[in-house]
Amino acid sequence: MNLRRSRSGVWTAALLGLVLGSPVAALEIEVRAPDTGPAASTGDTLVARFTVAGTMDGSEGSALGEGIPATLTLVVDLWRVRSGWWDSLVHTQTLAYRFRRDLLDGRYRVLDPEGRAVGFPDPDALERYLARPHEIVLGPAAGFPAERRYYLTVKAIVRPLRLDDLEEIDAWLNGEVTAGRGGGGILGLPKTLAALMVDLSGLGDRSSVGRSAVFVPNP
Amino acid sequence: MTRLVQPLAISALAAALLCTAAGNGRARVAAGPGVSASAAADSSALGPGDAPPAPTAADSLTAPFRIVFFEPEPSGAPDAESRPAIQIGARRDHTRWDRRDPWSVEPASFLRYNRVEGIGLSVLFDRGLDRKTYQPAYRAGIGYAFAPQRGQFILGMEQPLTQRAKLTLGAMAYRRFLTFFYGDEIIDTGENSASALFLHRDYRDWYEADGVRGWIGFHTSPYLTITAGVTSREERSLRVASNWSLFRQTTPFRTNPKAAEGNYRAYDATLTYDSRPRSDRSHWGSVEHFHRLRWERAEKSLSGDFDLWRLVADSRVYLRLSPAQSLAVRALVGTGGAREGRLPSQRRFFLGGIGTLRGHGFRSLEGDHAVLTNIQYEFDVSGSSRALVVLDTGTAFDGRDLGALFEQKIAVDLGAGLRLGENGVQFLLSRSINRRNADVNLTVRFQDTF
């Protein structure tokens, strides 16, 4: 949508300011590099760890707390440090937790990254579950190139369920396989219109990035 | 409750079994992610001699979730240059076999709005190729455009002929409203519908196609597809049939350009390499590619009304430069010719405005040949917001030989903007830097430009 000059620009700038100025609770991510010293000498597996806190916002009456279906996406990246050039992305892996409040029994239901359903009595319990440690198995230290430096980043994104997610959950509830599905059906309506409404309603996503210290797996 | 208890019981049992395997005095790595009870919650990292204490079933919801990047065998460890041993979750093969290209027409949305259809409704059922079976892919749909009172349909299938669907044969019949060149690439149906409905702006130009198509497909890998096909269809102009919107009601829609009408009979070949996951861009690998080369030739010897050829190369590379920076580059080259002179309007190249040269007026450049490059650099600024810097260059022109390209004045547009959220609204200010007194264009988008 191309808005040329003048009044259109004014209200767009106002909207931009409104959105940018909105207070948003931050996600707290702590990423701890693996202990490389003893592991490197014995050839054991390197394991890093991270935690993500603040997913449920914590503010009273927040949309997520009231049960708006949402997704917590965790993008875990392993980067190799390169001098004088951009760092190299060695590996990336994505996890997704989908959660919502079941209006029938008031419990919070979570679909974990492996598709298992878990229930919690209140948002605090759900927050504790989502904030539990995650371990990243990096393999044996000896398998890494000698003296190369690495670090890990974890990007956490919390956002209300998109229609794509709803399609998947719809299929999951009906026992369908989603591979290769295209448009059509009641959820095939233009997703941009729904995304637009989500953005304008203040239910947009929150994200944050955590980064570990640089480590040398195979010194 | 049964639905909840059952998975919990199963995971507790699995955790107990895995614990037994892990509790031998050494840190053991499970075969896959999610072996949540294999380590204690208070251990900062597993090292030699750190035996994880045996968890109980109650610990299963608080024990660490385990993500396996690399298998413990040395062969699975990350070589500096090779691919990692485990592919990211988004790279599931079956997602790559739902190729759109052989069908050559974009599947219609369930509900849409534009100036030639008014409100359009469609119901579509489809299934992509499954490399594990010989089951055919199919697509069947009907639709109706309320303003011109015109029905639409699509019915087709693609049958694998060899194992893993490497060779396929497809056929389909359809009546659809199609877009002029690149109309479906510069803006998707949903965003165009929103623009037409709210702002009285329809960024696509339209014509109607009614005919059949057959093709043979070579799916040599999940990423690479080659198709060769023949098409016979009637092509007709469409006029503006709806002229209302929720806002800016006094401004009329643009006239829909007249298309060259007649029977289009042609053969074509398309090569597509697409490594892009279907997930969000923030989940993509370090480098992702999309390359498509398409050639088409219509001849009157095929008893059609058109005698033309066209070649279009569309190449895109997406790079994650660092945790906070990314770069996307697109190069588009199109050329063609017709015996009667210029290419028909529905096959000419149009550049300018959203999706192409963002500092120029919408479709301000046109010709039988076009060259376009877009470079978009993004970096994190605050929270989930990203700053955008874009550089667009290109031109479209008429001419009988490529020498005309070097006589062209290449348009150069520079822009800067902001994206709110991972996939949120984008605000972009852009301006032509080689035209004096050029306007500054403010573009608001709800999707990536490319």
Q: Which domain holds residue A131?
A: 23-211
Contact between B78 and A38 using a beta-carbon 8 Å cutoff: no
pLDDT-above-90 percentage for chain A? 22
The DSSP-derived string for A172-199 is HHTT---TT--S-SGGGS-HHHHHHHHH
**Cα–Cα distance, B231 to B68 (Å, whole number):** 49
Partner residue facing A90 (CB), from B78, B94, B98: B78
CA distance B165 to chain A (A): 14
Q: Specify if A189 maps to a domain.
A: yes
Contact between A205 and B423 using a beta-carbon 8 Å cutoff: yes
CA distance B311 to chain A (A): 28
CA distance A122 to chain B (A): 14
Q: Specify if A161 maps to a domain.
A: yes
Which residue(s) pair with B74 in the sheet?
Answer: none
CA distance A217 to chain B (A): 11
- Is B164 strand, coil or helix? helix
Answer whether B359's CB lies under 8 Å from B430's CB.
Answer: yes
- ipTM, 2 decimals? 0.72
Q: B236: alpha, beta or left, given left = phi > 0 and alpha = psi -120 to 50?
A: beta
Contact between A4 and B441 using a beta-carbon 8 Å cutoff: yes
**Cα–Cα distance, B328 to B319 (Å, whole number):** 6
Give the residue from B282, B288, B428 with the most A CB atoms within 10 Å of its CB, the best one to mutate: B282
Report residues of chain B scoring pLDDT below 70. 1-62, 71-109, 401-403
Would you state the pLDDT for residue B390? 97
Instruction: Compare all CA atoms of chain A with the CA of B72 and give the residue at the minimum distance.
Output: A139
Q: Specify if A177 maps to a domain.
A: yes
Contact between A95 and B33 using a beta-carbon 8 Å cutoff: yes
The DSSP-derived string for chain A is -EEESHHHHHHHHHHHHHHHHS--PPPEEEEE----HHHHHHTPEEEEEEEEE-TT--STT-TTTTT--EEEEEEEEEEE--TTSPPEEEEEEEEEEEEEE-TTT--EEEE-TTS-EEEESSHHHHHHHHTS-EEEEEEEGGGSPTT--EEEEEEEEEEEPPHHHHHHHHHHHTT---TT--S-SGGGS-HHHHHHHHHHTT---EEEEEEPPPB-S--
Instruction: Compare all CA atoms of chain A with the CA of B431 and give the residue at the minimum distance.
Output: A4
**Mean pLDDT score, A68-74:** 84
Answer whether A141's CB lies under 8 Å from A147's CB.
Answer: no
Would you state the pLDDT for residue A24? 54
Give the residue from A120, A193, A203 with the most B CB atoms within 10 Å of its CB, the best one to mutate: A193
Q: B258: alpha, beta or left, given left = phi > 0 and alpha = psi -120 to 50?
A: beta
Partner residue facing A138 (CB), from B70, B322, B427: B70
pLDDT of residue A103 exceeding 70, the answer is yes
CA dihedral B393, B399, B400, B406 (to 10 degrees): -50
Measured between beta carbons, the chain A residues lying within 8 angstroms of B251 are none
Contact between A184 and B444 using a beta-carbon 8 Å cutoff: no
Would you state the pLDDT for residue B104? 59
Measured between beta carbons, the chain A residues lying within 8 angstroms of B424 are 199, 204-205
Contact between A180 and B26 using a beta-carbon 8 Å cutoff: no
Q: Which residue has the higher pLDDT, A64 or B275?
A: B275
Contact between B11 and A88 using a beta-carbon 8 Å cutoff: no
Would you state the pLDDT for residue A161? 66
Instruction: Compare all CA atoms of chain A with the CA of B41 and give the residue at the minimum distance.
Output: A133
Q: What is the amino acid identity at position B203?
A: Y
Task: List, in sequence order, every beta strand (DSSP E) within B262-307.
Answer: 262-274, 287-298
Q: What is the pLDDT of residues A9-19, one digit of tens each?
A: 555 555 555 55
Instruction: Compare all CA atoms of chain A with the CA of B445 and give the residue at the minimum distance.
Output: A1
| Mean pLDDT taken over chain A | 73
The DSSP-derived string for B394-412 is EEEE--SSGGGGGGSPPEE
Tell me how many residue pairs between chain A and chain B have CB atoms under 8 A apart.
304
Q: Specify if A181 maps to a domain.
A: yes
**Cα–Cα distance, B139 to A181 (Å, whole number):** 10
Q: Look at chain A and report how many structural domains it folds into.
A: 1
CA distance A183 to chain B (A): 6
Task: With residue B14 as reference, give the H or E element that holds it.
Answer: helix B2-22
Cβ count within 10 A of residue B344? 22
Instruction: Compare all CA atoms of chain B with the CA of A190 and give the residue at the minimum distance.
Output: B190
Measured between beta carbons, the chain B residues lying within 8 angstroms of A95 are 33, 65, 67, 89
**Mean pLDDT score, A58-72:** 64
Partner residue facing B69 (CB), from A78, A159, A182: A78
Would you state the pLDDT for residue B14? 35
Domain ranges across chain B: 2-76, 103-259, 264-450
Query: What is the pTM assigned to this prediction?
Result: 0.78
Give the residue from A74, A137, A167 with the most B CB atoms within 10 Å of its CB, the best one to mutate: A137
Q: Which of A83-92, A147-156, A170-179, B229-238 shows the lowest per-residue confidence on average (mean pLDDT)?
A: A170-179
CA distance B36 to chain A (A): 9
Partner residue facing A45 (CB), from B72, B79, B141: B72
Q: B352: alpha, beta or left, given left = phi > 0 and alpha = psi -120 to 50?
A: left
Instruction: Compare all CA atoms of chain B with the CA of A110 and give the residue at the minimum distance.
Output: B4
**Cα–Cα distance, B422 to A188 (Å, whole number):** 22
Which residue(s) pair with A71 in the sheet?
Answer: A98, A159
pLDDT band per the 50, 70, 90 thresholds, residue A117? confident
Decide the pairing of beta strands A134-140 and B65-68: parallel
Q: Specify if A114 maps to a domain.
A: yes
Please give the distance of CA B99 from its chain centroid, rounded to a whole number: 11
Q: Specify if A10 maps to a domain.
A: no
Please give the distance of CA B223 from its chain centroid, rounded to a whole number: 13
Would you state the pLDDT for residue A12? 55
Q: Specify if A88 maps to a domain.
A: yes
Report for A92-101, A110-119, B125-134, B298-307: range of highest mean pLDDT: B298-307
Contact between B88 and A142 using a beta-carbon 8 Å cutoff: no
Q: Specify if A4 maps to a domain.
A: no
Residue B396, token pair as written in the block: 């479209």
Q: What is the pLDDT of residues B369-392, one digit of tens each?
A: 999 999 999 998 877 789 999 999
Architecture of domain B264-450: Beta Barrel (2.40)
Task: With residue B186 as reference, give the H or E element that holds it.
Answer: helix B183-186
What are the respective helix, strand and coil percentages of chain B, to the nearest 5?
15, 40, 45
pLDDT band per the 50, 70, 90 thresholds, residue A109? confident
Give the residue from A93, A108, A149 with the most B CB atoms within 10 Å of its CB, the best one to mutate: A93
Instruction: Compare all CA atoms of chain A with the CA of B34 and give the residue at the minimum distance.
Output: A114
Q: What is each CA distance from B124 to B63, B107, B154, in whole angstroms?
A: 44, 8, 8
Answer whether A156's CB lies under 8 Å from A208's CB.
Answer: yes
**Cα–Cα distance, B251 to B315 (Å, whole number):** 37
DSSP 8-state class, residue B341: B
Contact between B130 and A114 using a beta-carbon 8 Å cutoff: no
Would you state the pLDDT for residue B123? 86
Residue A84, token pair as written in the block: 């004088």
pLDDT of residue A141 exceeding 70, the answer is yes
Under 8 Å CB-to-CB from A84, ≥6 apart: which residues? none
